[in-house]
Amino acid sequence: MFGISFLSPLFLIGALAAAVPILLHLFHRRPEAVIEFPAVRLLTGAPVPQHRRRRLRDLILLALRVAALVLLAVSFARPYVAGAAAPASAPVTVVVLDVSGSMSAPGQFARAQQAASRAIAQAPSGQAVAVVTFADAATIAVAPTSDRGGALAAIAAATAGAGGTRYRTALARASEAIGPRPGRVVIVSDLQQAGWETNDAGGLPDGVTVEVVTVPGPAGNLAVTSAVSRDRVVTATVQSYGADQATVDVALVVGGREVARTTATLAPSAAAEIELRGGFGDAGYGQVVIDDAVGYQHDNVRYVAVTPPPATPIAVLVADPTGTTGGIYVERALAVAGEGREFAVTVADGRALSKWTTAELSRHAALVILGTRTLDRSGRQLVQGYLAGGGQVLLTLGPDVDPGTLGDVIGTDLGVGPAAVRAAGATLVPADTRHPIFRPFLVPAGALGDVQIEQHRRLKIQDAAVLARLTGGDVALTEQTVGQGRLLVFASDLDNQWSRFPLHPSFVPFTVEAARYLTRGRQQRHVFTLPEVPAGAAAEPGVTLVGEGASARQVVVNVDARESSPAATSVDEFTRGISRTSRSAQEELAGGAREIEDRQRWWQVGLLVMLAALAGEALVGRRAT
């Protein structure tokens, strides 16, 4: 379907001028001329035109004059064809359809499709319609259009996948589809509580109305929330989210063959650990499978790597490994990651590290610097070359770091003062909550607001990005590029001397995520959780091959266990959680319309036709006289 729009529609009022020649035609008819005949002999010479012929000529003149005036008004209104999309000024109804894993219970998504189709059918006839589908990511399946058949077809073709629920991402995409025009959003979802937990940005413009259509989830759900392999035994965790006791069969499948099976009885809203023993053969991966005919289907299978990946090596530089600190807090925090198998930590003081070769240091994916007092000149040059050559370094500015030689260690001037700054009671405040390091702190339970920093050093911010500050305003954590490497700088210490951070529950996730961030690309991880997948892998659960040639390896991708909980929020709570944004300027819409009109230039064609009509009117009018 095609829509015709006008850049300056007010000029269409000028088309009313076409009524003038019509009125003149109706009310200003000329009377027949009376010819006096002195003699009958003169009768044959009188010019008496035929009545029908004169009437046809008058109608042609009227049509030409009306057409000229209408074309003039239309030309000044600057018409353009909007194409298959609805006119840019038309209001739009956007149907936002949840296609996450929490919509995969038997019959649940079919009900959601019916509700979304009704929303399309019930949209006012003068409005455009659009369809947005969302899970971890949101997609505009159908841009605003007057083609309702296409919107219904997109809804019918949608399927519930295994992705997580992200409401803010969906709202941001719906806002993009609406643009500056008037709009209405119909959200079709189960309103799962986990959808608000991610720290995405997104909302709806002011004035956009929201209608929420709830598709209830199952009364209960059984899910395999974790599975690990150790000593040829797979330990799986099966969680019940129902209010009744449940009995479930749990099987271990390797290479398409069932090698172990057991039955578990789960208390209401409880979990149980199941051990599965069996021969794995040459297969490096297996899957734990349960049969849940009532709940979500995406979490009935969890993939497990039988052979653990090699640990990622990390070096920790300290001033004295035999002291009361000696990097023990960082070492123990990293020992928690991946059940102790994700990182291999080597702690060395300056004297020992100075004896390393460049190749020995380069084998480590990251370097954590807690102290530099025992690092000699050759050691400082070694660390500087490691960072400039592409190394990843986390530098802390505690009492064991010598500010006078720090520039020689990292190869750049941080402007660190020699004296510590006392700031009793200062706490950490993330400046960029979307940074990967702060992923565990997206919910209030994992906030950094309780971390007390007693002393720190002030940094001179130049080319660094500030990731966190102290409540007093000083910089707490920065990130910058040095040579080809990456440098994170923490303004206090991580050795329980200037702060109690190492004793706080958030220290472990902070240290682990910082290490993962610095070592990404060097990790040989074999297990991933949606939506995080390695490059080249599909964003869906299963076993897949990534890489090429000798570097190719198999990895497993699992669903996010948070998506297994059927706990839902109310419609009122959901509506209150929607953030509102100010309307963008209408000039953006007008600019897009002007660009289309400039390409088509139908006003020029209208003026040419108008001139042709005037020429025809003059020609016919001359013959009439």
Give which of 239, 246, 221, 223 is closest to 299, Cα–Cα: 223
pTM above 0.75, yes or no: no
CA torsion sign for 277, 279, 283, 284 is: positive
Element housing 157 (H / E): helix 148-157
pLDDT digits (tens, 9 = 90+) for 157-206: 999 999 999 999 999 999 999 888 888 999 999 999 888 876 677 888 88
Contact 587, 70 (CB under 8 A): no
Taking each helix axis from N to C terminus, what angle separates 19-27 and 51-76, rounded to the nearest 10 degrees?
A: 160
Range with the poorest average pLDDT among 16-20, 120-124, 137-141: 16-20
Tell me the C-alpha distance between 11 and 23, whole Å: 21
Mean pLDDT across the stretch 78-107?
Answer: 78
Length reported for the chain: 625
Range with the poorest average pLDDT among 6-20, 251-265, 350-364, 462-476: 6-20
DSSP designation for 501:
G
* Per-residue pLDDT at 580: 85
Tell me the C-alpha distance between 330 and 347, whole Å: 10
Contacts of 359 (CB under 8 A, 6+ apart): none
pLDDT digits (tens, 9 = 90+) for 264-318: 999 999 999 999 987 766 667 889 999 998 999 999 999 988 766 778 999 999 9
pLDDT digits (tens, 9 = 90+) for 424-434: 778 888 887 77
pLDDT digits (tens, 9 = 90+) for 443-457: 544 467 778 888 888
* Per-residue pLDDT at 539: 85
Task: Dig out the tokens for 246 from the structure.
Answer: 């449940």
Task: Report all structural domains of the chain as residue ranges with CATH numbers, in order of start.
Answer: 3-77+590-624 (no CATH), 92-217+568-584 (3.40.50.410), 222-308+539-546+550-564 (2.60.40.10), 312-519 (3.40.50.880)
Mean pLDDT across the stretch 89-118?
Answer: 93
Tell me the C-alpha distance between 338 and 311, whole Å: 9
B/e letters for 82-113, b = 16+ CB within 10 Å, e = fewer, are beebbbbbbbbbbbbbbbbbbbbbeebbeebb
* Per-residue pLDDT at 552: 72
pLDDT digits (tens, 9 = 90+) for 570-622: 999 999 989 887 765 444 445 555 655 566 566 677 677 777 777 776 776 66
* Per-residue pLDDT at 284: 74
Task: Dig out the tokens for 4 from the structure.
Answer: 């015709």
* Per-residue pLDDT at 285: 83
